[in-house]
Amino acid sequence: MRCAATCSSSKRAALWALALLSLALGCRRAQPMRAEEVFVALGEAARRGDTKTVFDLLDQQSQWSLMSAFRAQQQQRDNVLAYYPPARQAGELQRTQLLVGVKDVAGYWAAYCRSSGTLGRLARLGAAPGADPKGERVAWRSGGEDVALCREGARWTYCGLREALEQLKLKATRDLETVREGVESYKGRAL
């Protein structure tokens, strides 16, 4: 009888180990680690039109800038629709054109890629032009495009859009402030 109890607990332990291993493998992101792999994956994803993979290859600062711009434009749109007079709404909503038909950050990123031609430029990338760099940043040229990669911890990321996405965020933030001032003005007139 003791063997049955021991065998049962061994099976339970094995099942727990298998469950934990499955969970760990399922949660692990298969991300390229070397700069050359990121470079190649970037070009391949762009040629497939895979904006999700390109987004996943972006550096964290670029991702955060994009998410901040998305939230600021959502708030702009919501405020304009809620508080601006109907005659002024269409003109004010021009600032949020990337949001048309978009429900989430992934859709916003896809709209940005379409409007900026990002995927078209990245689709021209060829083979990685050099060996894996030793520093924290590398800039390679391929297909007429400069591609900047940055090291973030143990992995390399695409940081070539960092400045453009930061500018997008700053513009969206300034536009949101302008809309908020307009909201206060329209609220004041309503009183």
User: Which tens digit of pLDDT belongs to each residue from 5-36?
Assistant: 455 555 555 555 444 444 443 444 455 578 99
Cβ contact 49:119 at 8 Å: yes
Statement to judge: residues 110 and 17 lie in one domain: no
Q: Do 8 and 101 fall within a single domain?
A: no
The answer to whether residues 2 and 69 belong to one domain is no
Asked if residue 95 and residue 2 are part of one domain, the reply reads no
Under 8 Å CB-to-CB from 189, ≥6 apart: which residues?
Answer: none
> Quick one: 8 and 42 in the same domain?
no
Range of the domain at 154: 32-190
Residues 64 and 75 in one domain: yes
Q: Domains in the chain: how many in total?
A: 2
Residue-wise pLDDT tens digits, 156-172:
999 999 999 999 999 99
Name the residue type at position 47. Answer: R
Reading the chain (191 residues) residue by residue, the pLDDT tens digits are 454 545 555 555 555 544 444 444 344 445 557 899 999 999 999 999 999 999 999 999 999 999 999 999 999 999 999 999 999 999 999 999 999 999 999 999 999 999 999 999 999 988 877 766 778 899 888 888 889 999 998 899 999 999 999 999 999 999 999 999 999 988 877 64
The number of CA neighbours under 13 Å toward the Cβ of 143 is 17
Same domain, 111 and 178: yes
